[in-house]
Amino acid sequence: MPVPGPSISLRELSRDYGTVRAVDSVSLEIPAGALVALVGLSGSGKSTLLKMINRLVEPTSGTIRIGDEAVDSIDAHVLRRRIGYVFQNIGLFPHMTIARNIAIGLELAGEMTGRDERIAQLLDLVELPQEMASRMPDQLSGGQQQRIGVARALATRPGLMLMDEPFGALDPVTRDNLTEQYKALHQKLGLTTIIVTHDMAEALYLADRILVMEGGQIKADATPAQLLSGNVGEEAEALVAIPRAQAAHLIALGKQA
Amino acid sequence: MTEAWKQAFARVPELLAAHVQISVSALVLAMLICLPLAIWASRAPKVATFTLAIASLIQTIPGLALLALFYPLLLGLSALIGGGISAFGFLPALLALTLYALLPILRNAVTGLAGVDPAVAEAADGLGMTQSQKLYLVEAPLAAPTIMAGIRTAAVWTIGAATLSTTVGQPSLGDLIFAGLQTQNWTLVLTGCLFSALLAISVDLLLGLIEMGIRKRRKILVWTGMAVIAAGLLVATLPLMIARDNVVVIGAKGFSEQYILARLIGSRLEEAGYTVRYRDGLGSAVVYQALSEGDIDVYVEYSGTIWTNQMERTDSQPKAAMLQTIAQWTSSNHGVKMLGELGFENTYAFAIRPTDAREKTLKTLDDLARVSSDFNFGTDVEFLERPEWQMVQDAYPIRFKDARSFSPTFMYPALASGEVDVISAFSSDGRIAANNFVVLEDPRGAVPSYEAIMLLAPDRSSDDKFVAALNPLIGAITVEVMREANYMVDRKDDKKTSRQAARWLNEKLRE
């Protein structure tokens, strides 16, 4: 059984951009091993909230603790090496082979031994063939590239994964595949994962807890089942209504056929 | 291959070496300045705007002007810190060329670093790279092809502009071009152009190879390019590495007589066992300064130039008294020894066509003043700014219809063809007699005497062997002989090189 990921605690966390308050005094406890989805419309503050955890964005006020450590007590680059980070635009290094892209975290940490084995292991983990290792990023499809993005984030065995719309730019089939596979990985590796998405259907499928954000605040905090049963606020209901209506439409179509 | 080509090619290795040396130094210095600046600029947009504006501004200054600017600048700086900085040769050329190379390198480096995909930069941060790891592992490799393209542009510019460094006394392939232009020796001009173009093209190709290697991530191309450049650098600079003790540097201004006399002096010094190098095409202002600083060892000056330019005198003295005053002044002010006068004068002489002289009965400058409002004046590039022109205007009421500047080479044909009606000729120039031009008399003695005098650098003044080798030239050269030697180089048919003319002159003196 792998060591479970850390718990996360946010206290009155705020971030201002000029006069705009992107994140507004958010307090939150995320237990170890949770898979939490942050859902909201564009500009609701969900990405800003996520990026404050690995200090890509510095909070205006408030504190963040990972386990029992405050994130600002550690050098930003040291902190980030302990956290897996996957985002929509992937950002593979175009001048490095896939193998070096995957192992870059190990290279930064100065881990010299066992790199090749680890690369092979990670390619297996994200279900890509071994011969990918020697290719360059531009020879891979978008879905393959994001699999590498996930493998790269997992290379240093982080307990915490932060994912910012990780599968948002992929085609629906690939996206569905990856979502499912990531869910399995999360459980297998005992990670704590926070995933930002604007797609409620994805969140409902993937997460064991869903946070609905609007105007920099968390308007709903519920399990998928609770969300679907209603009574968790109108913001959440508005987002849930979309997949619900789609599903109803599909069922109706099926009955006609 | 003819004698002229052989002589031109013989000078190439040493000049090419100097050319490569100055170009590479300027390029490396520019890179050392630009790359850190570009990194800083990529982190601070204001710095980028500011530095690029400065670099662009420098680029608008013509290369020749930039070189010329550094001469007084360095002189002033040297005076400020109590001497020790040479305003002559390598240093001003290096600084000017470096400034010239800044813009393409800086612009491309800033563009390259700014052009790194934001997603890649975010990934680098997200993975926990420090700023320097990000630069070294991600930004630099991704910006490298663009940076390399900038270095390539700068290299081609620098190699081209380095030909101009001749004018501040830094040897380069420009020596051949400038000397050839002055003496209408097209073989020299072509040789200089050919080799500087070849150098620029090969460097461009090699740097292009490296750039492509970086872009396509083909290390073999990068290493091949670098190896060939390194080998080329080694071969090109080999002539400079051969140590030479006691090398004498002979200075010459930019006209035939000066080239010939420099070679005459050179041949006498070589006979005495010295190794000789030439710095040709120096401006009047630069050359005396260079001598007093010891950057050159000996050159031929004209008494009136020292009198008006260096001593800033506007009065006239009898010839003998004037020479004595000059000898005392150079010695006590700069430790420069006036070895003596060569025996001929090369003064500014107003020359006209024989037909005008006859039909308009022009004999003196007074006569010229009478008709000057109908006359177009042709001069060399500096005469109109020289004090002698002021002195002439003060003494005679001359007001020309128009005045145009020529390089000496083109001034005489301009008078012959009627393009201008009077020129400020040089009295020892063979083309006056060859064209039957009439030289007007100066009854009021407005133009000071321009005796050719030999000046020695402070260090050479006490070098007895040196003085003994050159002493026989004092008082030995008549104006007729000098004119003939000059004409050999300046005429169109059966042209001789300045070295050949110097050889002829040398034999003539030994008869």
**Could you state, in order of their start, the residue ranges of all structural domains in chain B?**
3-241, 247-346+449-510, 348-439
Tokens at residue B191, please?
């040789």
Residue B244 pLDDT > 60, yes or no? no
3-state per-residue secondary structure call for A154-194: HCCCCCEEEEECCCCCCCHHHHHHHHHHHHHHHHHHCCEEE
Q: pLDDT tens for residues B8-23?
A: 888 888 889 889 989 9
Over chain B, what is the mean pLDDT?
A: 88
* CATH architecture for segment(s) B348-439: 3-Layer(aba) Sandwich (3.40)
Tell which of A71, A85, A100, A146 to mutate to test the B interface (max B CBs under 10 Å): A85
Q: How many CB pairs under 8 A join A and B?
A: 60
3-state per-residue secondary structure call for B1-25: CCHHHHHHHHHHHHHHHHHHHHHHH
Q: Where are the domains of chain A?
A: 1-82+160-174+185-257, 92-157
Q: Predicted ipTM?
A: 0.90
Q: In what order do the strands lie in the sheet with A8-17?
A: A20-30, A8-17, A61-66, A69-70
Give the pLDDT band (50/70/90) at residue B241.
low
Q: State residue B1's pLDDT score.
A: 56
Q: Whose structure tokens read 């080999």?
A: B238
Given a contact cutoff of 8 angstroms between Cβ atoms, the answer to whether A202 and A178 are in contact is no
User: Which of B122, B129, B141 is the closest to A95 by Cβ?
Assistant: B141
CA B129 – CA B141 distance, rounded (Å): 15
Task: Give the mean model confidence (pLDDT) for residues B58-71.
Answer: 83
Q: How many residues in chain A?
A: 257
Q: In sequence order, what are the residues at sequence separation of 6 or more whose Cβ sits closer than 8 angstroms to the Cβ of residue A118?
A: A102, A103, A106, A155
Q: Whose structure tokens read 């013509």?
A: B62
Tokens at residue B385, please?
């700014």
**Chain B positions touching chain A (beta carbons under 8 Å):** 117-130, 133, 137-138, 141-142, 217
Residue A36: Cβ within 10 Å count: 21
Greater confidence (B497 vs A147) lies with A147
Q: Do B117 and A94 touch (CB under 8 A)?
A: yes
Interface check A89 vs B, CB under 8 A? yes
Q: State residue B444's pLDDT score.
A: 86
CA B298 – CA B338 distance, rounded (Å): 10
Bridge partner residues of A164 (DSSP) = A87, A196
Given a contact cutoff of 8 angstroms between Cβ atoms, the answer to whether B429 and B443 are in contact is no
Percentage of chain B exceeding pLDDT 70: 98
Q: In sequence order, what are the residues at sequence separation of 6 or more whose Cβ sits closer than 8 angstroms to the Cβ of residue B387?
A: B308, B309, B312, B314
From first to last of its 257 residues, what are the pLDDT tens digits of chain A? 455 789 999 999 999 998 999 999 999 999 999 999 999 988 899 999 999 999 999 999 999 999 889 999 999 999 999 999 999 999 999 999 999 999 999 999 888 888 899 999 999 888 899 999 999 999 999 889 999 999 999 999 999 999 999 988 888 888 888 888 899 989 998 999 999 998 888 898 899 999 999 999 999 899 999 888 877 888 888 888 888 888 889 999 988 87
pTM (predicted TM-score): 0.73
Given a contact cutoff of 8 angstroms between Cβ atoms, the answer to whether B22 and B172 are in contact is yes
Output the CA–CA distances (angstroms, integers) from residue B507 to B267, B481, B500, B501, in the order listed: 11, 11, 11, 10
Give the pLDDT band (50/70/90) at residue B91.
confident
Residue B294 pLDDT > 60, yes or no? yes
Q: State residue A1's pLDDT score.
A: 42
Q: State residue B84's pLDDT score.
A: 66
User: Which of A87, A108, A152 is the closest to B122 by Cβ?
Assistant: A87
Q: State residue B245's pLDDT score.
A: 57
Nearest C-alpha in B relative to A91: B120
Amino acid at B349: A
Q: State residue B292's pLDDT score.
A: 86
Q: Which three-class secondary structure state does DSSP give residue B144?
A: helix
Given a contact cutoff of 8 angstroms between Cβ atoms, the answer to whether A33 and A5 are in contact is yes
Q: Do A80 and B128 touch (CB under 8 A)?
A: yes
User: Which of B128, B141, B142 is the closest to A81 by Cβ?
Assistant: B128
Instruction: Assign domain B247-346+449-510 one CATH number from 3.40.50.2300, 3.30.360.10, 3.40.50.920, 3.40.190.10.
Output: 3.40.190.10
Residue B243 pLDDT > 60, yes or no? no
Nearest C-alpha in B relative to A53: B126
Nearest C-alpha in B relative to A52: B126
Q: State residue A162's pLDDT score.
A: 95
Name the residue among B474, B368, B486 with its Cα closest to residue B422.
B368
Given a contact cutoff of 8 angstroms between Cβ atoms, the answer to whether B473 and B342 are in contact is yes
Q: State residue A3's pLDDT score.
A: 58
Name the residue among B505, B442, B496 with its Cα closest to residue B476.
B505
For domain A1-82+160-174+185-257, the CATH superfamily is P-loop containing nucleotide triphosphate hydrolases (3.40.50.300)
User: Which of B130, B133, B217 is the closest to A95 by Cβ?
Assistant: B217
Residue B119 pLDDT > 60, yes or no? yes
Task: Give the mean model confidence (pLDDT) for residues B430-453.
Answer: 87
Burial B415-445 (b: 16+ CB within 10 A, else e): bbeeebbbbbbbbbbbbbebbebbbbebeee
Percentage of chain B exceeding pLDDT 90: 39
Q: Which CATH class is domain B3-241?
A: mainly alpha
Same CATH fold assignment for domains B3-241 and B247-346+449-510: no
